[in-house]
C-alpha cells in the first residue's frame, strides 16, 4: 500500500528549485527541510520490530519468574492496527490529478501555438509608421467603434475632458 512507497522516491531538488518563483523560495526551502526531517525519521524505523531475546533476560535477571510473566503478557498482547482506508482514495485522487495535469498540458500547448501564430501575424504586419488608420483599425473593431462614438459625440467627450481637468 502507501506505506511501502514512503521514502522510495528521490527528488531532484535543484531541478525543482529552478522552477520555483523567487517569491516562493522560502516556502520551498521549509518544505524541503520538513521532507528531509521526516525522511530521516522514516529511515530510523524498520519494517518489523526487533524480537526480544527472552533467554538473555532469563539468564541475567535474578528473578526469572518476572521475566516469564512479562513474556507471557507480551505473547498475549495483540495490537490492532487500523485498516488502511485512505490508500484507495489517495490512488483515485492521484489518477484524477494526472488526468487534470494532462488536460492542462494540452491546453497550455494549444495556447502556446495560438500565441506563436499571433507573434507571426504581428511580425508580418506592416510597420505602424507605414500604415493608414483604416489598415490599423481593420482588425480592431472595438477600437474603431469607440473612435466612431467619440467622433459622433465630440461635445460630450469634450465636456468629460473638461470635468477631469
Domain segments of the chain: what residues?
10-47
- Residue 2 in this model has a pLDDT that exceeds 70: no
| Residue that wins the pLDDT comparison between 28 and 42 | 28
pLDDT (tens digit per residue) in 129-157: 888 888 888 888 898 888 888 888 777 76
Mean pLDDT of the chain: 85
User: For the residues 99-104, what does the mean pLDDT come to?
Assistant: 96
- Give me the pLDDT at residue 1, please: 44
- Asked if 125 and 139 count as a contact pair (C-beta separation under 8 A), the reply is no
| Residue that wins the pLDDT comparison between 110 and 159 | 110
- Distance from C-alpha of 55 to C-alpha of 95, rounded to nearest angstrom: 51
The top-scoring range by mean pLDDT among 30-44, 95-109, 127-141 is 95-109
C-alpha cell at 10: 528521490
- Give me the pLDDT at residue 117, please: 95
- Asked if 20 and 28 count as a contact pair (C-beta separation under 8 A), the reply is yes
First to last CA, the chain: 71
**With pLDDT > 70 as the criterion, what percentage of the chain qualifies?**
92
Where does the pLDDT of residue 3 fall: very low under 50, low under 70, confident under 90, or very high at 90 and above? low
pLDDT (tens digit per residue) in 45-68: 766 777 888 888 888 888 888 988
Enter the DSSP assignment of 131: -
- Asked if 74 and 68 count as a contact pair (C-beta separation under 8 A), the reply is no
Name the H helices within the chain: 2-5, 13-19, 25-43, 54-60, 64-76, 87-123, 133-137, 141-152, 154-164
Amino acid at each position: 500500500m502507501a506505506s511501502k512507497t514512503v521514502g522510495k522516491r528521490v527528488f531532484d531538488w535543484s531541478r525543482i528549485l529552478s522552477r520555483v518563483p523567487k517569491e516562493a523560495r522560502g516556502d520551498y526551502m521549509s518544505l524541503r527541510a520538513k521532507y528531509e526531517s521526516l525522511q530521516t525519521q522514516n529511515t530510523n524505523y524498520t519494517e518489523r520490530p526487533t524480537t526480544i531475546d527472552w533467554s538473555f533476560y532469563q539468564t541475567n535477571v535474578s528473578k526469572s519468574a518476572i521475566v516469564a510473566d512479562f513474556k507471557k503478557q507480551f505473547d498475549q498482547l495483540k495490537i490492532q492496527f487500523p485498516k488502511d482506508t485512505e490508500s484507495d482514495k489517495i490512488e483515485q485522487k492521484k489518477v484524477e490529478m494526472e488526468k487534470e495535469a494532462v488536460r492542462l498540458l494540452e491546453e497550455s500547448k494549444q495556447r502556446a501555438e495560438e500565441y506563436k501564430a499571433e507573434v507571426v501575424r504581428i511580425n508580418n504586419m506592416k510597420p505602424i509608421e507605414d500604415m493608414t488608420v483604416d489598415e490599423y483599425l481593420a482588425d480592431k473593431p472595438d477600437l474603431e467603434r469607440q473612435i466612431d462614438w467619440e467622433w459622433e459625440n465630440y461635445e460630450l467627450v469634450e465636456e468629460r475632458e473638461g470635468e477631469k481637468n
